[in-house]
Amino acid sequence: MNAKHTQKSWSDAVFDYCNYAILTFAMLLVLYPLYFVLIASVSDPTLVSGGKVWLWPQGFRWTGYEAVFGNSAIMTGFRNSLMYVVIGTAINLVLTLPAAYSLSRKDLKGRGIFTFYLVVTMFFGGGLIPTYMLVKDLGMLNTIWAMVIPGAVSVWNIIICRTFFQSTLPTELLEAAIVDGCTNKRFFFSIVIPLSTPLIAVMVLFCAVGYWNSYFSALIYLKDHDLYPLQMILREILVQNSLDTSMIKDRALLEERQHLSELIKYAVIIVASVPVLILYPFLQKYFVKGIMIGSIKG
């Protein structure tokens, strides 16, 4: 009996070591590219292109970041992106959570029909031109609402939230609340919302990252540079520093501009990624629980 127990423990230990090794390798594969971009953004571009930058910065310099933050539009882009994230995420939560909770209630008549029509929109869309015409007819062109209203509701998020409510909130909880005189509105705000913290954290992360990385809507609907989000500002910086080699005959000047362009590209990646990386650790403990419950059960 002891021999079998020892053999089982040894097998478990080997299995655990193999898992740790695989997970560590996968983690390095994911983290190293971002780390490389970080050290490359403050290294000599000549050494980077020569393959001499691997683990530590070489020829330390801040030229790329100076060029990026030297652009006065950067702070405007930061402010606009933050505004779009806050407003868009708030609207998304206000619309998604009640809709998902309603669809999770078995006493909602026709909930299967509502769900069907919502799911259909995941497979068929109106297309870019009809969407543009709709935004134009609604008077939202070149306004902040063009950035937050068209994507205010995600059917995928509604499905995740609905499944979360179905698998987490027992029917007996609602029945007990009704017996105590609780209305549907009070039950939703006083019981459902407080019990849905992991889910709300997941939705906040999904929506915030989506709005933060969004640039296509700004490219289509915005003309005023003062309304551009950060991603559009960074795109313009990259375009302005892109090279037309046929216009530069001086080889030394050409190499210098190429090196500056490379530094700016790395710096832009870091500037755009840091806010999301700062947000994620605060929501990570809720993220795993919320997304697993909302996507697997039900």
pTM higher than 0.85, yes or no? no
- pLDDT at residue 1 in the model: 46
Q: What is the 3-state secondary structure (H, E, C) of 180-214?
A: CCCCHHHHHHHHHHHHCHHHHHHHHHHHHHHHHHC
pLDDT < 50 regions, the chain: 1-6, 243, 245, 247-248, 294-298
- H helices of the chain, in order, are 2-40, 45-49, 63-69, 73-104, 111-123, 128-137, 145-148, 155-168, 171-179, 184-187, 193-195, 197-213, 216-221, 230-240, 251-296
**The tokens 């994507």 sit on which residue?**
151
- pLDDT at residue 30 in the model: 86
* CB-CB contact of 290 with 164 (8 Å): yes
Q: For residue 24, is it within any domain?
A: no
Q: For residue 66, is it within any domain?
A: yes
- pLDDT at residue 251 in the model: 59
Q: How far apart are CA 261 and CA 117, in angstroms?
A: 48
- pLDDT at residue 243 in the model: 47
Q: For residue 17, is it within any domain?
A: no
* 110: containing domain: 62-296
Q: For residue 74, is it within any domain?
A: yes
- pLDDT at residue 296 in the model: 46
Q: How far apart are CA 52 and CA 58, in angstroms?
A: 8
Q: How far apart are CA 136 and CA 221, in angstroms?
A: 9
- pLDDT at residue 269 in the model: 81
| Count of domains observed in the chain | 1
What the block records as the tokens of 94 is 């206000």
Q: For residue 31, is it within any domain?
A: no
* CATH code, domain with 265: 1.10.3720.10
Q: For residue 11, is it within any domain?
A: no
- pLDDT at residue 205 in the model: 85
